[in-house]
Amino acid sequence: MKILIIEDEARIAKRLARMARVYFEQQLTLTVCDTLSKGLAFIEHSSVDVLLLDLNLNGEDGFEVLEAMVARPFHTIIVSAYTDKAITAFSYGVLDFVPKPFDEGRLFQAFGRLNTKSKISDSGLKYLAVRKGGVIKMIEALQLNYIKGAGIYSELHLQDGNQELHNKSLDALEQLLPSGEFVRIHRSYIVSLKQVKKLMIEPGGKYAVHLTDGRLLPVGRSRYKQLRSKMI
Amino acid sequence: MQKWRIFLFLQLIVLAACHRDIRYDASDAVISQPDTAFTASVQIDLLEKKFSSSLGLQVHSFGAFVVYWDGIRVGQNGVPATTGQPEVPGTETSYYQIPDKLSGLGKHNVMIRGTQKYLLETERNVMAKPESYLKMLRQPLIELSLVNLMAGAFLIAAIYYTFLFANSRHKQRTTLLFAQICFLFFTLLAMEYLKYYIDIPYTQFYTRLIIVGWLTFAIAVLIPVYFAVHFDVPHKLPFIGILLAALVSIYILKYGHYDLTAHLYSLALWIASVLILLYALIKKQRGSVLVLCGFAVSMVINQYMFYDFGLYIAFTLILLCILYLQTLGAKQLEEAHHASLLLSSRLQLELIKKNIQPHFLRNTLTSLMDWVEESPAQGVLFIQALSQEFDVMNEIAERSLIPIRQEINLCRHHLSVMQFRKEVTYIWEDAGIQDDEVIPPAIIHTLLENGITHGIPSNGSSIRFLLTFLHADTHKQYTFEVFAENRVRSGRKSGNGFRYIEARLKESYGDRWNFTSEPFAGGWRSIIRIDL
C-alpha cells in the first residue's frame, strides 16, 4: 500500500503516518508532503494508492486542490477541520471525509473502505472529475449513460453521446457512485439505472440490458439477480 | 411640538389681523415752532365707531408735551421744559384715554403743546390717531405674545445648539453658526419689541433702530455663510466678500432710512442664499429643494404682509429651513456613528472568531490529542499555552486599543501554541518598544499569523519575528519583519487579515495611518505608520 499524506501541520502529519503504519503494518510505503506543490510533484513521478489530504494548505483554497486530486486514479480521503465542507467533498468523489480532531477508530474506518468492495451508499457523488489536456473537467453524474472499464481506466459514456476517459478503475468508481442510481451489471460495465429501458434474456441464457438510446449491454450471470431486484 | 407652535402662531396672526373698528379723517398736523417750544394741532373727524368702550388716542411725536382733546387736557408725555427746569423727554409714542362725553362722532381738535430740546435736526412729524382704547391696550399684548413665542423658540434653539456645539466631539461649524443666527434673531425680535416693555425717551429713539439695523446686517451675513458652509460651495471667501460689500453699500447709500435699510439687507440675504441654494440644487445636495421652497414662500410672505411682521415671519421660515438642514446633518452624524458602532462590533466579532474558528480549534485539538497520546507532559504545556492565548484574547476582545505589551504577550502565546502544532521553532524579538504605547488589538497578531502561514522555515527549522518601534516627531512606526523563505502566494494579494488590520487602523486613527506589507530578500516586512 502506497500512501501519500499532504498536510501542512507537522504534528498532524505525524499522527496520520503513525496510525497508517499501525493499520497497514508491513506492506506500507509512506510519504508526507507539507505543501500542495510538493504533493503534486510527487504524484507526477510516483504511483499512489491512497491520498490523505488536508483541505486548507497554508491558506490555499481546498477545493481547487480537491478537483485536481479526485481526477487521479487513486482514492482520496479528506482529513480536514472544515467539517462543513464534507458534503461538497463527497459530491466531488472522495472516498471518505475524516473530520479533525480524529482518533484511530475513525481513521481506521476510512482505511477500511479501501479494502471492502462495499459502496459508500449515500456518498452523494454528483461530479466526476476528468483530467484532459492538463485541465480538470467536472462531469455531472446525472449525465452518465454507462461506464465501461478499460484496464486501469474507465470510459465514461455520456447521454449526449460523448466519451471521456477517467483515471480511476471501474472498481474504484463503483465504490464512489451512489448505489441507488448506478449498478454494476458486468465485470466491465456500470450502468445508470435511469437509462435502462428493459432487461432481456437472450438465446443461450445470456442476459442484456436495453438502454434508452437503443444500445445493448451485457449483464453478468452473477449480477442478473441484483439488477432485477433494483429494477422492480 | 414644533407643529403646535406653528399652528398657534398662525392662529394669533389671524387674531392680530382684525378688521378696523373705527373710521375717521385726520388732517396733517399744523405745527407752530417759535423756539424749542412748539404747538401742534390735528383736526380729527370721527365718522364711525364700532365699539362702545372708551375712545383712545395714540400720538407720535418727539418732545415732552401736554395733549388736549377739544381743549381738555387728556394727559402728558414727559415734562416740558420751563424756565429753570430742564425738559424730561417723553417717548415717541404715547397713548391717552378720551373722556366718554367728548368722544362722540363729529369733528374734534387735538392740541399738543410742549418742548423739544433734542434731535431738532430731524424733521418733526406729529401724528394723532384715534382708536378704541381697549384695542390700544390689547394690541401690544397680542403682538408680543406672537413675538415672544418666536423669540423664546429661537433663544432655546440658540442655547441648545451652543451646548450641542460645546459638548460634541465632532465640532461642526454649521452648528455654531446656527446657534449664532438663532441668538441674533432672538435679539432682533427683543430689540424690535422692546418699545412695549420700557419707556424709551425720544432722545434714544434712533438707538434702537440702529441696533436693529446692525442685527439685521449680521443676520444677512451669517445666513448665506451658513448655507455656503453647509453646502460646501467653492470660492466661499470671495462670495462672502461681495455680500459684505453689497451690505456696506446699502448702509452707506441709505444711511438714516432705517426700515428701508433693513429691508434691503434682507433682500441681499435672500439673493445670496438663493444663489447658494441653486448651486446646491444643481449639485443635487440633500435638503436644497426644500430650503429653496422655504425661500420662495418667505419672499411671497414678505411681499404681502405688512412690514415688520412679514419680515419676521420670512426670517422664521428661513430659520426653520436651516433647522431642517441641521437635523439632516444630525442624521448623517447619527448614521456615521451607527456605522462606526457596527464596524466596532464587527471587528470585535472578527477578533473573537480568530481564536474560536472551528478549523483553528480542530487543528489545535488534533495536535493536542497527539501530544497527549504521545507525550502527556508536553500535552499539558500545550494546553497551558493555549489557555494563556485565550485569556489574553478574552481580555482584549472588547477594546479598540490595548497596551503594546499585551499585544506582544498575545503574539508570544500564539507562537507557543503554533510551535506545538507545527513543530517549528519560532523566535520572537522586539526592539524599542515603549510600554505606554497602545495599539489596536490583534493587528501584530494577524501579521504574525500570516508569517506562520506563508513563511517556510529557513536555516533548518526556525522562523524569526522582529517587531521594532520608532517614535519620530511627526509619526510613530511599527515595523514587523518575518525572517523566513516566502511561500508562493496564489490568488488574492491581501486577504481578510489585511482588511482586518486596515479596518482597525481606520477605527482608531481615521485617515492618519499608512500600512504597507511586502517581501524582501529573506523574509516579509510590514510597516504600520501612525501620523501624529
* Residues B297-311: tens digit of each pLDDT: 888 887 777 666 777
Residues B333 and B170: their CA atoms lie apart, in Å, by 9
Residue A170: C-alpha distances to residues A66, A119, A120, A157, B387 (Å)? 20, 13, 15, 13, 50
Q: B510's torsion region: left (phi>0), alpha (psi -120 to 50) or beta?
A: left
Question: Is pLDDT above 50 for B88?
Answer: yes
pTM over 0.90: no
CATH number at residue A14: 3.40.50.2300
- Enumerate the residues of chain A whose CB falls inside 8 A of the CB of residue B422: 8-11
Residue B409 pLDDT class (50, 70, 90 cuts)? very high
- Joined together, the cell numbers standing for residue B465 give 519575528
Dihedral (CA of B129, B132, B136, B141) sign: negative
CATH number of the domain at A151, please: 2.40.50.1020
Residue A70 reports pLDDT greater than 90: no
* B330-335 average pLDDT score: 85
Q: Residue A173 — pLDDT band, cuts 50, 70, 90? A: confident
Q: What is the DSSP string of B442-499?
A: THHHHHHHHHHHHEEPBTTTEEEEEEEEEE-SSEEEEEEEEESEEPPPPS-SS-HHHH
Tell me the percentage of chain A whose pLDDT exceeds 70.
95
Widest Cα–Cα separation across chain B: 127
Pair A19, A86 in one domain: yes
Q: Kindly state whether residues A108 and A146 are assigned to the same domain.
A: no
Q: Does residue A56 fall inside a structural domain? A: yes
User: Could A59 and B366 be called an inter-chain contact, meaning their C-beta atoms sit closer than 8 Å?
Assistant: no
pLDDT digits (tens, 9 = 90+) for B62-79: 999 999 999 999 999 999
Among B363, B488, B489, beta carbon nearest to A9: B363
- Residue that has been written with the C-alpha cell 515603549 in this structure: B434
Residue B68 host element (H or E) = strand B64-69
Beta bridge partner(s), residue B431 = B468
**Distance of alpha carbon A3 from alpha carbon A48, whole angstroms:** 6
- Which residue, of A85, A115, A145, is where some domain finishes? A115
Q: List CB contacts (< 8 A) between A101 and chain B.
A: 362, 365-366, 368-369
pLDDT confidence of residue B483: 93
Domain boundary among A115, A149, A167: A115
pLDDT at A140: 86
* Min Cα separation B453/chain A (Å): 5
Q: Are residues A90 and A137 in the same domain?
A: no
What is the average pLDDT score of chain B? 87
Per-residue model confidence (pLDDT) at position B259: 79
| Radius of gyration of chain A from its Cα atoms, rounded to whole angstroms | 19
Burial of B475 (0-12, 13-18, 19+ CB in 10 A): middle
Average pLDDT over residues A120-136: 75
pLDDT at A121 over 60: no
Long-range contacts of A159-166 (CB under 8 A, 24+ apart): A159/A195, A159/A213, A164/A130, A164/A132, A164/A137, A164/A139, A165/A130, A165/A132, A166/A71, A166/A128, A166/A130
Q: Do A9 and B367 touch (CB under 8 A)?
A: yes
The verdict on A105 and A8 lying in the same domain is yes
Sign, Cα dihedral of B118, B123, B126, B129: negative
Q: Which residue of A has its CA nearest to B493?
A: A59
Residue B514 one-letter amino acid: N
Chain B contacts of A82, Cβ < 8 Å? 358-359
Spatial contact of B98 and B106, defined as CB atoms under 8 Å apart: no
Q: Among all residues of chain B, which has the CA nearest to that of A12?
A: B367
**A90, A55 contact by CB (below 8 A):** no
The predicted structure's pLDDT at residue B492: 46
Residues from chain B that touch A14, judged by Cβ atoms under 8 A, are: 370
**Residue B72, pLDDT score:** 94
- Grid cell for residue A36: 500542495
Q: Whole-angstrom Cα distance, residue B412 to residue B407?
A: 9
Checking if the pLDDT of B46 tops 90, the result is: yes
Structural domain span for residue A209:
127-231
pLDDT the model gives residue B466: 95
Q: Mean pLDDT, to the nearest integer, of B153-172? A: 89
Pair (A109, A131) in one structural domain: no
Shared domain for A15 and A109, answered yes or no, is yes
The reply to whether residue B365 touches residue A35, judged by beta carbons under 8 angstroms, is: no
**What is the count of residue pairs from A and B with beta carbons less than 8 Å apart?**
67
Strand partners, B335: none
- Test B358 with A83 for CB contact under 8 angstroms: yes
Both A83 and A8 in one domain: the answer is yes
Beta bridge partners of A91: none
Model pLDDT, residue B97: 95
- Check A59 against B495: CB less than 8 A apart: yes
Burial environment of residue B423 by CB neighbours within 10 A (0 to 12, 13 to 18, 19 or more): middle
Q: Do B366 and A102 touch (CB under 8 A)?
A: yes
Residue A24 counted as domain residue: yes
What's the mean pLDDT when you consider all of chain A? 85
Predicted pLDDT at B10: 57
> Is A11 in contact with B358 (Cβ distance < 8 A)?
no
CB B247 within 8 A of CB B276: no
Is a pLDDT exceeding 90 seen at residue B83? no
- C-alpha grid cell, residue B377: 507532559
Cell 476510512, residue?
A: A110
* pLDDT tens digits, B480-506: 999 998 887 654 455 778 888 988 898
Which of these three, A115, A147, A164, is where a domain ends? Answer: A115
Closest among A154, A174, A172 to A163, alpha carbons compared:
A154
**How would you list the strands of the sheet with A216-219, edge to edge?**
A196-202, A206-211, A216-219
Instruction: Tell me if A120 is assigned to some domain.
Output: no
Q: Do both A173 and A225 map to the same domain?
A: yes
Chain B: nearest CA to A120, how far in angstroms?
25
DSSP letter assigned to residue B283:
T
Query: Does any domain span residue A121?
Result: no
Residues B10-36: pLDDT tens digits? 555 555 554 578 999 988 888 887 678
pLDDT, residue B489, reads 63
pLDDT tens digit sequence for B427-462: 999 999 999 999 999 999 999 998 988 888 877 688
Judge if A78 and A160 occupy the same domain.
no
CATH class of B357-531: alpha beta
Report CB contact under 8 Å: B421, A10: yes
Q: Please indicate, yes or no, whether residues A139 and A108 belong to a single structural domain of this protein.
A: no
Q: Find the residue in B nearest to A56 (Cα).
A: B359
Residue B511 has, within 13 A of its CA and on its CB side, a CA count of 0
Task: Report the complex ipTM.
Answer: 0.76
Residue A103 and residue A54 in one domain? yes
Sequence-ordered strand ranges (E) for chain A:
2-6, 29-33, 50-53, 75-80, 96-99, 127-132, 135-140, 144-150, 153-158, 163-166, 182-186, 189-192, 196-202, 206-211, 216-219
CA distance A221 to A207: 7
Alpha-carbon span B507 to A171, nearest angstrom: 58
The domain locations on chain B are 26-135, 172-333, 357-531
CATH class of the domain at B26-135? mainly beta
Q: In chain A, how many domains are there?
A: 2
Based on the fold, state whether residues A57 and A140 are members of the same structural domain: no
